[in-house]
């Protein structure tokens, strides 16, 4: 279970569209065992017997010159990967009156611009406007609404 992977597909036959010679064809999706990098491999807490089944493989460097290393299972023929259907067979019963009321409330908040007020009541401030106020809000511009003569006089006083 430590190196098993789960693959989901929207198709029953697990095929994927690929382009070949300009045409689109369907090929079977490959399911492979997990090949963890060294830091993840250490966190998986394998026993010494389990670690003996892995070997460290270093991939060819990419365009930036990075060398990627990963642990690969030495004998993948030991595993038989199965495809099991992932079917939703339980559906939550919806209360349509409640859904309609929630939709009405959402439409009211959106159409009348009350989302900001709601955020302020929930979180104590308006989250949507808080991030852009940032530096301007806390560090106002010192020369704003001053004439050039006032700015020059202040600069002259600082130099003296």
Q: Is the pLDDT of residue 52 over 90?
A: yes
The length of the chain is 160
**Average pLDDT score over residue span 46-75:** 88
Interacting residues of 84 by C-beta distance below 8 A, sequence separation 6+: none
**Average pLDDT score over residue span 66-88:** 83
Task: Please give the share of the chain, as a percent, with pLDDT higher than 90.
Answer: 24
Q: Is the pLDDT of residue 29 over 80?
A: yes
Tokens 């099991």 correspond to: 84
pLDDT tens digit sequence for 92-145 = 899 999 999 999 988 888 887 787 777 777 777 655 555 555 555 556 677 888
Q: What is the DSSP string of 22-85?
A: TEEEEEEPP-------HHHHHHT---HHHHTTEEEEEPPP-TT----EEEEES-GGG-------
- Write down the pLDDT at residue 53: 92
Residue ranges in 63-147 assigned as alpha helix (H)? 96-111, 115-123, 127-138
What's the CA gap between 35 and 13, in Å, rounded? Answer: 25
pLDDT interval class at 54 (50, 70, 90)? very high
- Write down the pLDDT at residue 72: 92
Q: What Cα–Cα distance (Å) separates residue 91 from each residue in 4, 96, 111?
A: 28, 14, 32
**Average pLDDT score over residue span 38-59:** 91
- Write down the pLDDT at residue 137: 56
Higher-confidence residue of 57 and 66: namely 57
Q: Which helix (H) or strand (E) holds 19?
A: strand 15-20
Span of 36-40, 108-112, 154-158 with lowest mean pLDDT: 108-112
Interacting residues of 151 by C-beta distance below 8 A, sequence separation 6+: 143
Task: Please give the share of the chain, as a percent, with pLDDT higher than 70.
Answer: 90
- Residue 137 phi/psi, 5° resolution? -70, -40
Q: Is the pLDDT of residue 55 over 90?
A: yes
């Amino acid at each position: 279970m430590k190196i098993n992977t789960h693959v989901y597909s929207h198709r029953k036959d697990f095929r994927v569209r690929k382009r070949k010679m300009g045409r689109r064809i369907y090929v079977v999706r490959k399911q492979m065992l997990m090949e963890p990098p060294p830091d993840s491999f250490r966190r998986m807490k394998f026993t010494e017997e389990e670690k003996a089944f892995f070997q460290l493989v270093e991939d060819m460097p990419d365009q930036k010159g990075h060398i990627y290393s990963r642990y690969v299972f030495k004998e993948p023929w030991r595993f038989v990967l199965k495809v099991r259907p992932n079917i939703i067979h339980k559906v939550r019963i919806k209360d349509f009156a409640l859904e309609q009321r929630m939709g009405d409330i959402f439409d009211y908040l959106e159409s009348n611009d009350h989302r900001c007020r709601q955020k302020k009541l929930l979180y104590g401030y308006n989250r949507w406007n808080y991030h852009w106020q940032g530096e301007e809000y806390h560090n106002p511009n010192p020369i704003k609404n001053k004439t050039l003569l006032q700015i020059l006089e202040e600069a002259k006083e600082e130099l003296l």
